[in-house]
Amino acid sequence: MTLAEPSPQAPRGPGWALRLVASRRFQSFCAAVPCLRRIARRDGEALFDLVGGFVHSQVLFAVVELRLLHRLFDGPATAPALARGTALTADRIEILCNAAVSLGLMRRTRDGYGLARKGAAILGVPGLEAMISHHHVLYRDLADPLAVLGGAETELSKFWPYVFGAAAAQDPDTARRYSDLMSDSQGLVAEETLRRCDLSKAGTVLDIGGGTGAFLSALGQRHGAPALHLFDLPPVVSGARDRFAATGLTDRVQITAGSFRDDPLPVGADVITLVRVLYDHSDTTVMDLLRAVHAALPEGGRLVVSEPMTGGDRPHPAGDAYFAFYCMAMGTGRARSPQVIREMMGAAGFASTVDHGTTRPFVTHVLSAEK
Ligand SMILES: CC(C)=CCC/C(C)=C/CC/C(C)=C/C=C/C(C)=C/C=C/C=C(C)/C=C/C=C(C)/C=C/C=C(C)/C=C/CC(C)(C)O
Ligand SMILES: C[S@@+](CC[C@H](N)C(=O)[O-])C[C@H]1O[C@@H](n2cnc3c(N)ncnc32)[C@H](O)[C@@H]1O
C-alpha cells in the first residue's frame, strides 16, 4: 500500500500527525535524526514485540514444559546439561535458552544459563505454570482468530463444560481438571480481593462458584470470625472437604452442591462472593444470577465480585486482549468492564456499588454492592 505523501494543505491535527508517521519518507527521516531516532527505535521495537509476541509466548511455553526454570532454580547449568533428560539436542536447548535470556526469563552466566528475575517470579506465582501449559488449547483456537471472532466452535469451549450447565460437568475427571487449574491460580486472586474488601466482620460468607474452596480457605485463614459456605456443582465440591480439613476449617464450613442456573441459592449469608464466575457466562445468565444473589441477601447484605475485567473506555491488554479473547474462545463467557458489571448490579436491585480497583488487572478487579 503506497500512502500519498501528506500534501502541504493537509489539515493539521491528529490526522496530519498520523499520516506523517505512516509516511515511509518520514520514517527514514526519523531514523537519521538523533532525537527522533530513539523514538522511532522504541516504537519499532514495541511494534516488533507485537508482531513476534506469539513466538515469545511459545518460547515461554517450551521453557515451562521442559521445566527449565526449576532446573535453573538449583543453580546455573550449561546447555548440554539442560538438554539431558529432554528429547532435544544441546544446540536446540541453547537456542531456546538464548531466546529465554532475550525475554528476561533466564540470564547468561559463565557456566551457561541461570535464572533471571521474571523466571524466578513465575515459579512463585501459584498456578501460573499450569495456566501457561494450559494455553496450548487457546493457542490452537487462536491460530484462526477470525474464526473465533466469527463464533466458530472452539476446543477451549470443551475444556470448561460447566458453563453449559450442571449436566455438562458431570464427568469427575473434567471437573477435577478445571478445578485444579482454578484453585492453583486462586492464590493471587484471593490476596488481592481480601486486601481490597474487608470481610473480617462478615457473619457468613457464601462463595458461589467457589470451586474446591480455595478462596474460602484463604478467607478463613485470614479472618477467624466469618462462617463459610461453599456453593458449586456436585462434581466440583466433592474435592472441597479435603481442602477445608487440611486448613483446619471443617467446623466453620458448610458445603452445598447445586447449580445457580437450576437450583435456589442458599440463604442466611450476609456476604455473597462471586470470584471469577461472571465472565464465564452470558449476560442473561449473569443477570439471573445477580437477581438471585440480591434475593438471597438480607437488607444491608453485601455482594463482592472479583474477576479480571476489561478497561472500559481505557482498554488494557490483560482485560481487553487476553481475557476478552479467552472468554470469547470459551464460547459463552464475556469479559466485562467494572462499569458494565456495576450497571448490571444496579439493574439487579443493588442500591450502591463500589469499585475497589486492582493493583494487577491481569489477576483480578474487585467490586462490591450493598442491598
Ligand atoms: C533484586 C530483587 C530480587 C528484587 C528487586 C525488585 C523487586 C522487588 C522485584 C519483585 C519480584 C517479584 C516479587 C515479582 C512478582 C511478580 C508477580 C507476583 C507476578 C504475577 C504474575 C501473574 C500472572 C502473570 C497471572 C496470570 C494469570 C492468568 C494468565 C490467569 C488466567 C486465568 C484464566 C484464563 C481463567 C480461566 C477460567 C474461566 C473459564 C475463564 O473462568
Ligand atoms: C472459573 S471457575 C472459578 C472458581 C473459583 N471461584 C476461583 O476463582 O478459583 C468458575 C466456577 O463456577 C462454577 N460454576 C459454573 N457454573 C455453575 C453453576 N451453574 N452453578 C454453580 N457453580 C457453577 C464452576 O464449577 C467453577 O468452579
SS3 of 332, please?
A: coil
Ligand 2 site, residue 289, Cβ cutoff 6 A? no
> Tell me, what's the pLDDT at 174?
62
Q: Mean pLDDT across the chain, nearest whole number?
A: 92
pLDDT of residue 177 exceeding 70: no
Task: Give which of 276, 268, 212, 271 is closest to 244, Cα–Cα.
Answer: 212
> What Rg value do the Cα atoms of the chain yield, rounded?
24
DSSP state of 77: B
Give the H or E element holding residue 230: strand 227-232
**What is the rounded distance in angstroms from the CA atom of residue 54 to the CA atom of residue 154?**
19
Q: Cβ(249)–Cβ(216) under 8 Å?
A: yes
Tens digit of pLDDT for each residue in 247-278?
999 999 999 999 999 999 999 999 999 999 99
| Closest CA to ligand 1's atom 4 | 117
* Mean pLDDT computed over 121-149: 94
Q: From ligand 2's centre to the CA of 52, what distance in Å?
A: 34
pLDDT given at position 183: 81
Q: Specify the higher pLDDT residue, 165 or 182.
A: 182
Instruction: Give the model confidence (pLDDT) of 282-299 as tens digits.
Output: 999 999 999 999 999 999
The answer to whether the CB of 186 is under 6 A from ligand 2 is yes
Asked whether the beta carbons of 209 and 233 are under 8 A apart, the reply is no
Q: For ligand 1, say whether the CB of 232 is within 6 Å of any of its atoms.
A: no
Q: Which three cell numbers stand for residue 149?
A: 471472532
In tens, the pLDDT along 182-209 reads 788 898 999 999 999 999 999 999 999 9
- Report DSSP letters for 164-193, one per residue: G-GGGG--HHHHHHHHHHHHHTHHHHHHHH
Report whether 169 contacts 329 (CB < 8 A). no
Average pLDDT over every residue of 332-336: 92
Instruction: Decide whether any atom of ligand 1 lies within 6 Å of the 281 Cβ.
Output: no
pLDDT band at residue 173 under the 50/70/90 scheme: low
Inform me whether the pLDDT recorded for 333 exceeds 90. Answer: no
Kindly state the average pLDDT of the residues 49-60: 97
- Region 344-366 average pLDDT: 97
**pLDDT exceeds 60 at position 95:** yes
Ligand lying nearest the CA atom of residue 274: 2
166: pLDDT confidence band, cut at 50, 70 and 90?
very low
- Please list the alpha-helical segments (H only) found in 238-313: 240-246, 283-296
Tell me the pLDDT band of 162, cut-offs 50, 70 and 90: low
Q: What is the pLDDT of residue 332?
A: 82
Q: What is the pLDDT of residue 235?
A: 86
Q: How large is the ipTM?
A: 0.93
| Per-residue pLDDT reduced to its tens digit, 293-317 | 999 999 999 999 999 999 999 999 9
Ligand 2 in reach of 270 Cβ (< 6 A): no
* 71 in contact with ligand 1, CB cutoff 6 A: no
Res 167: pLDDT: 46
Cα–Cα separations (whole angstroms), residue 311 to 187, 194, 319 = 23, 21, 6
Q: Is 160 in the pocket of ligand 1 (CB under 6 A)?
A: yes
Question: How far apart are the CA of 125 and the centre of ligand 1, in A?
Answer: 6
Q: Collapsing DSSP states into helix, strand and coil, what is residue 204?
A: strand
Dihedral sign computed on CA atoms, order 340, 341, 343, 347: positive
- Ligand 2 center–CA 282 separation, angstroms: 14
CA of 210 to the centre of ligand 2 (A): 6
Compute the distance between CA of residue 218 and CA of residue 223 in angstroms, rounded to an integer: 9
Q: What gap in Å lies between CA 39 and CA 125, rounded to an integer?
A: 34
Cell output for 35: 532525537
The residue contributing the CA closest to ligand 1 atom 12 is 121
Nearest to 155 by CA among 165, 172, 167, 143: 143
Ligand 1 neighbourhood includes 125 CB (under 6 angstroms) = yes
Q: Which atom of ligand 2 is nearest to the CA of 275?
A: 6
Distance CA 346, CA 364 (A): 21
Question: Which domains are delineated in the chain?
Answer: 33-123 (1.10.10.10), 129-370 (3.40.50.150)
In 3D space, the residue among 202, 221, 254, 189 whose CA is nearest the CA of residue 370 turns out to be 202
Predicted confidence (pLDDT) at residue 5 exceeds the cutoff of 80: no
Q: If you measure from the C-alpha of residue 234 to the centroid of ligand 1, how many angstroms do you get, rounded to a whole number?
A: 30
Average pLDDT over residues 329-355: 96
Whether 164 shows a pLDDT value over 80: the answer reads: no
